[in-house]
Chain A
Amino acid sequence: SQTIHQWPATLVQPVGSPLSLECTVEGTSNPNLYWYRQAAGRGLQLLFYSVGIGQISSEVPQNLSASRPQDRQFILSSKKLLLSDSGFYLCAWSAKTSSYNSPLHFGNGTRLTVT
């Protein structure tokens, strides 16, 4: 069966520090991969998605970046964190299908607090 791992679970970082969040998927190949952010009491905001190695699409302008160095690895980074980067970060994967889309499956999330 497929599993998704995301770490760390919680992170407290000072303003201006770098960030690296990692996500890996097991049990599937060539998945679609996604990074979402959820602010407290708010909806899911799509940050990046990827349909393959090295293929990253950004949905919102920001000081975050994403990379997909391997088929099942998705990394979210920042060179300098802002206070507004605080939130709940979720990695997700979905299988590629020939017809209807398959559902997204989420990792356990990383709660980031920028101080």
Chain B
Amino acid sequence: GQNIDQPTEMTATEGAIVQINCTYQTSGFNGLFWYQQHAGEAPTFLSYNVLDGLEEKGRFSSFLSRSKGYSYLLLKELQMKDSASYLCAVFGGSYIPTFGRGTSLIVHP
């Protein structure tokens, strides 16, 4: 079956760096995605990894190790508006991605 694990909640300070981990077990691999979801809103696409390594996009970076079934999302220079839920999603070889339950990030002053 498909399984994705993320921490339920994390807290960090404004201006700091935070790393949100995601481990997965899927039958096949066709891409890993990170989404940001603010309370009461729809998820918005942040980043996309299909090959091992780091993808950088401004303050956000995402890393993938396919052999370890592991990814992380790195957020730098945290801002209060980064308080949100972060969802890890994996395509395991079909049109249907498996989503993690999400990590609720609380950024405090």
A: residues with CB less than 8 A from B are: 32, 42-44, 46, 49, 51, 59, 90, 94, 100-109, 111
Contacts and interface: CB of A to CB of B under 8 A. Distances in A.
A51 B95 contact: yes
Residue with the greatest number of chain B CB neighbours at <10 A, chosen from A59, A103, A108, A109: A103
A105 B45 contact: yes
11 contacts: A42-B101, A49-B95, A59-B96, A100-B91, A101-B30, A101-B95, A103-B31, A103-B45, A104-B45, A106-B44, A108-B41
Interface of B: 30-31, 33, 40-45, 48, 50, 87, 89, 91, 95-97, 99-102
Contacts of B48: 103
Secondary structure at the B interface, as helix, strand, loop or mixed, is loop
Contacts of B87: 44
A42 B96 CA distance: 19
B51 to A, nearest CB: 9
A51 B41 CA distance: 26
Contacts of A90: 42-43
